């Protein structure tokens, strides 16, 4: 085998069409061996002798895509001083583009003896760990281009590659649960008919199956346990872990783009799968422990943990920052993804003991010409002091708005004293974002997500039911802000079932009528249940997977969700690019404000009304003739105006429409409960009775317009359910 010196950049294994260059950073290393593996597991070790600026490099002209490899790093093993080099452990390449196999919970992966942790364990781990794989970078993208939907037009669908596709009857069983299935026409058709513009995929970076879960017959379903920041998870590959997963992932993205659907990745850059000081040595720990991880200053044998997972990456070192930035840039430029949702993003910003929103990480992203141009979404909470940072991220970022989730849940379960905050969340949460110059798109609105109850379970359970997780029912959130509607779990009570259906629709409608960017949890559009389990992180089975066999209620929920997304898409008043002002503006042709908050008698809310803790009803007027932001051609946007009537109380309530100055006649568009039919007309000042736990949307066209020109596309609209 020919051995050339190679180049120190780029890091990782780079195939150039003839051979492969290998480059690995390690400041701690004294020697580095590149290990090549044949199909039968035979290992060949090649000494890497070239090193520049702590990057060890070598080029092998004969190595082709598909070659499995790893590293053995020789250096100090001194945990008390933060050094854990151990050449008996085969290490993954941090820049591996594909990874083969899955680590077991074998003792050889650990540098200590299970029976006596004070003793070293030098058993070779190669047969029980994962291998890096050389991949070909070549792929025919054709005319692929990013859909680039404006944020205010975006509807996000949080999905799991396996969970969404594993039980679809129109997908061949051999490809279910894979990237190939995610791009299947049946999935594309569902997403298109629903009207979503982006899928936000739960972690697809290579992750590890936790040993303690496997021992209990469970699996890491969610995948928040990353070990490969450049590699698509190999268990989602139809062709297996030969490196073909890269091609399959690219084809999935290409297919979704052809359907005008963006791909956003849920990424975990705050920690790795190596865990705490008792965890396995798989990659970073054995390469350069103190360069990659935050260690306790007074006790460097232990890790400073702000994630609750055992370790935190050391964001203050240039090599960790480079790793993350290189990874993000790779997924945009080579894999063509359209954005990222950052798990526990506050941890990425944490420097010393506090969250610094102007930390190096955000500064670097701000100036990056590639990453700064895609969708960036933060999960703005983490463990420890200052960990909850809703509203604290830079202007470039959007955030999962946990305050939105909590307030909307409370309002629709009739909690007292939340009406004022509910109006703020409905209007885009300007109280959280406007002071930093941000707009409504800073708020990713959601009622449910993978972590917690599904929408069906939110209206069907008061308590979590997590017994299947094997933790005595103690895991998961205990304060869910849920209400079972009168019975816990499955029931034959028709009144309870009717109320649950109405409340689920109310929550979905509120989400899609709110300013900001809505995110729907996959399956909520069709009443998916997890049987009250609010923490299915380890349930890789039918409990978590989508069931595509729908009963009447589920079919109706799907129809309703499609209708609500279409309503949002066709009306700019529900997806404004700037915050509502609540005043009459001189730059629009209207003598009414862009929004008014009205009492049930049709008159404006007073400060005393907002302060009434038992007030659970609200009418919202949205003025379609008072949208100051122009369209892409510079023209003023003129839309229908809307009245939204919310009754979150447990009683029937009489609502009176405002006077003729707001519009002479209003048309019923969509709602829940009552006997009003879609298309019915209601005159200004008229009173109608709205049942408990219901909403209603009324529309009127702008003055002087042709109603047919402003109507949304024809949809099947039965009587209000």
Question: DSSP for 218-230?
Answer: ----S---EEEEE
pLDDT of residue 713: 38
Mean pLDDT within 59-86:
97
pLDDT tens for residues 440-493?
A: 999 999 999 999 999 999 999 999 999 999 999 899 999 999 999 999 999 999
* 393 confidence band (pLDDT: 50, 70, 90): confident
- Report d(CA 186, CA 197) in Å as an integer: 16
Establish whether 563 is a catalytic residue: no
Q: To the nearest whole number, what is the mean pLDDT of the chain?
A: 93
pLDDT of residue 190 exceeding 60: yes
> Which of 67, 97, 13, 149 has its CA nearest to residue 334?
97
- Report d(CA 707, CA 272) in Å as an integer: 56
User: Which of 343, 415, 594, 609 is flagged as catalytic?
Assistant: 343
pLDDT tens for residues 551-609?
A: 999 999 999 999 999 999 999 999 999 999 999 988 888 899 999 999 999 999 999 99
Q: Which of 28-37, 303-312, 573-582, 627-636 has the lowest mean pLDDT?
A: 627-636
pLDDT of residue 705: 61
pLDDT of residue 718 exceeding 70: no
Dihedral sign from CA coordinates of 549, 553, 559, 564: negative
Higher per-residue pLDDT: 384 or 33: 33
* 630 confidence band (pLDDT: 50, 70, 90): confident
Place of tokens 């006596």: 116
417: left (phi over 0), alpha (psi -120 to 50) or beta: left
Q: Between 244-258 and 185-194, two packed helices, what is the crossing angle to 10 degrees?
A: 40
pLDDT of residue 659 exceeding 60: yes
CB atoms within 10 A of CB 387: 17
* 396 confidence band (pLDDT: 50, 70, 90): confident
For residue 83, how many C-alpha atoms fall within 13 Å in the half-sphere facing its CB?
14
pLDDT tens for residues 139-171?
A: 999 999 999 999 999 999 999 999 999 999 999
pLDDT of residue 100 exceeding 90: yes
Mean pLDDT within 360-380:
92
The structure's pTM equals 0.96
Higher per-residue pLDDT: 126 or 632: 126
CA 237 → CA 26, 308, 509, distances in Å? 31, 29, 36
CB atoms within 10 A of CB 381: 17
pLDDT of residue 720 exceeding 80: no
pLDDT of residue 413: 97
Place of tokens 């050094």: 83
pLDDT tens for residues 353-362?
A: 566 766 888 8
pLDDT of residue 717 exceeding 70: no
CB atoms within 10 A of CB 610: 15
Please, are residues 354 and 389 in contact by the beta-carbon 8 Å criterion? no
pLDDT of residue 709: 43
Establish whether 586 is a catalytic residue: no
Q: DSSP states of 272-337 as a string?
A: -TT-STTS--SSHHHHHHHHHB-EETTEEEEE--SSSSS--B-TTSHHHHHHHHHHHHHHHHTT--
pLDDT tens for residues 198-246?
A: 999 999 999 999 988 999 999 999 999 999 999 999 999 999 777 899 9
Mean pLDDT within 293-309:
92
Place of tokens 């890790």: 303
What does the block give as tokens for 487?
A: 């019975």
pLDDT of residue 318: 92
CB atoms within 10 A of CB 103: 20
pLDDT of residue 292 exceeding 90: yes
- Report d(CA 432, CA 438) in Å as an integer: 9
pLDDT of residue 502 exceeding 80: yes
pLDDT of residue 704: 62
User: Which of 379, 399, 596, 669 is flagged as catalytic?
Assistant: 379
- Report d(CA 394, CA 369) in Å as an integer: 16
CB atoms within 10 A of CB 47: 10
> Which of 343, 439, 446, 521 has its CA nearest to residue 151?
439
Mean pLDDT within 367-394:
81
Mean pLDDT within 624-650:
91
Mean pLDDT within 396-416:
96
- Indicate the helix (H) or strand (E) that contains 464: none
3-state secondary structure of 710: helix
Sheet of 20-25: strand order equals: 12-15, 20-25, 55-60, 50-52
> Which of 42, 44, 88, 43 has its CA nearest to residue 281?
88
The gap between the terminal CA atoms of the chain, to the nearest Å, is: 73
pLDDT of residue 386 exceeding 60: no
- Report d(CA 125, CA 136) in Å as an integer: 27
> Which of 647, 639, 640 has its CA nearest to residue 699?
640
Q: Residue 613 contacts by C-beta under 8 Å, 6 or more apart in sequence?
A: 416, 417
Burial letters for 470-499: b for 16+ Cβ neighbours within 10 Å, e otherwise? eeeeebbeeebbbbbbebeeeeeeeebbeb
């Amino acid at each position: 085998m020919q051995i050339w010196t190679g180049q120190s950049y780029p890091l990782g294994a780079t195939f150039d069409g003839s051979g492969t260059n290998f480059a690995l950073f390690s400041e701690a290393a004294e020697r580095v061996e590149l290990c090549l593996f044949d199909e039968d597991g035979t290992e060949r070790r090649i000494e890497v002798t070239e090193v520049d600026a702590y990057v060890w490099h070598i080029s092998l002209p004969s190595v082709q895509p598909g070659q499995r490899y790893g590293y053995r790093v020789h250096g100090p093993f001194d945990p008390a001083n933060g050094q854990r080099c151990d050449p008996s452990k085969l290490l993954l390449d941090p820049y591996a583009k594909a990874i083969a196999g899955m680590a077991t919970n074998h003792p050889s992966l650990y540098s200590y003896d299970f029976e006596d942790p004070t003793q070293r364990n030098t058993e070779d781990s190669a047969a029980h760990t994962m291998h890096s794989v050389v991949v070909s970078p070549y792929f025919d993208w054709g005319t692929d281009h990013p859909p680039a939907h404006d944020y205010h037009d975006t509807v996000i669908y949080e999905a799991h590659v396996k969970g969404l596709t594993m039980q679809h009857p129109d997908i061949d069983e051999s490809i279910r649960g894979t990237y190939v299935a995610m791009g299947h026409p049946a999935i594309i058709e569902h997403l298109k008919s629903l009207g979503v513009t982006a899928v936000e995929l739960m972690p697809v970076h290579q992750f590890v199956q936790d040993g303690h879960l496997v021992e209990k017959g469970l699996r890491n379903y969610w995948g928040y346990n990353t070990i490969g920041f450049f590699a698509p998870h190999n268990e989602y590959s139809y062709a297996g872990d030969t490196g073909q997963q890269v091609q399959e992932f690219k084809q999935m993205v290409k297919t979704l783009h052809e359907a005008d659907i963006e791909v956003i990745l849920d990424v975990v850059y705050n920690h790795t799968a190596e865990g705490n000081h008792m965890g396995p040595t798989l990659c970073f720990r054995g390469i350069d422990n103190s360069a990659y991880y935050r260690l306790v200053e007074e006790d460097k044998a232990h890790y400073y943990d702000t994630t609750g997972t055992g370790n935190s990456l050391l964001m203050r070192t240039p090599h960790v920052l480079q790793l993350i930035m290189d990874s993000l840039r790779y997924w945009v430029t080579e894999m063509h993804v359209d954005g990222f949702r950052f798990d526990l993003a506050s941890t990425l910003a944490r420097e010393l003991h506090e969250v610094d929103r102007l930390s190096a990480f955000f500064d670097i992203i701000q100036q990056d010409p590639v990453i700064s141009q895609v969708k960036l979404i933060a999960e703005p909470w983490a463990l420890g002091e200052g960990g909850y940072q809703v509203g604290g991220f830079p202007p470039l970022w959007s955030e999962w708005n946990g305050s939105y989730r909590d307030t909307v849940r409370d309002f629709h379960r009739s909690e007292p004293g939340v009406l004022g905050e509910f109006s703020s969340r409905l209007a885009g949460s300007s109280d959280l974002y406007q002071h930093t110059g941000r707009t409504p798109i800073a708020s990713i609105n959601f009622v449910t997500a993978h972590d917690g109850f599904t929408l069906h379970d939110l209206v069907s359970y008061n308590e979590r039911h997590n017994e299947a997780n094997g933790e005595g029912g103690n895991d998961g959130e205990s304060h869910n802000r849920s209400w079972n509607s009168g019975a816990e779990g499955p029931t034959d009570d028709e009144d309870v079932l009717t109320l649950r259906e109405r409340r689920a629709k109310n929550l979905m409608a509120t989400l899609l009528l709110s300013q900001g960017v809505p995110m729907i949890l996959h399956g909520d559009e069709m009443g998916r249940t997890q049987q009250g389990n609010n923490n299915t992180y380890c349930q890789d089975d039918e409990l978590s997977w989508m069931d595509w066999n729908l009963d009447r209620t589920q079919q109706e929920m799907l129809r309703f969700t499609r209708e609500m997304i279409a309503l949002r898409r066709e009306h700019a008043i529900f997806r404004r690019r700037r915050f509502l002002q609540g005043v009459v503006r001189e730059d629009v042709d209207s003598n009414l404000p862009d929004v008014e908050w009205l009492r049930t008698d049709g008159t404006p809310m007073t400060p005393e009304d907002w302060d009434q803790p038992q007030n659970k009803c609200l009418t919202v007027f949205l003025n379609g003739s008072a949208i100051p932001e122009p369209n892409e051609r510079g023209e003023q946007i003129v839309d229908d105006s809307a009245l939204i009537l919310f009754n979150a109380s447990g009683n029937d309530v009489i609502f009176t429409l405002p006077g003729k100055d707001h519009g002479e006649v209003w048309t019923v568009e969509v709602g829940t409960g009552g006997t009003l039919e879609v298309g019915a007309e209601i005159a200004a000042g008229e009173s109608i009775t709205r049942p408990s736990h219901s909403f209603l949307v009324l529309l009127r066209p702008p003055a002087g317009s042709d109603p047919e020109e402003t109507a949304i596309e024809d949809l099947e609209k039965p009587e209000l359910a």
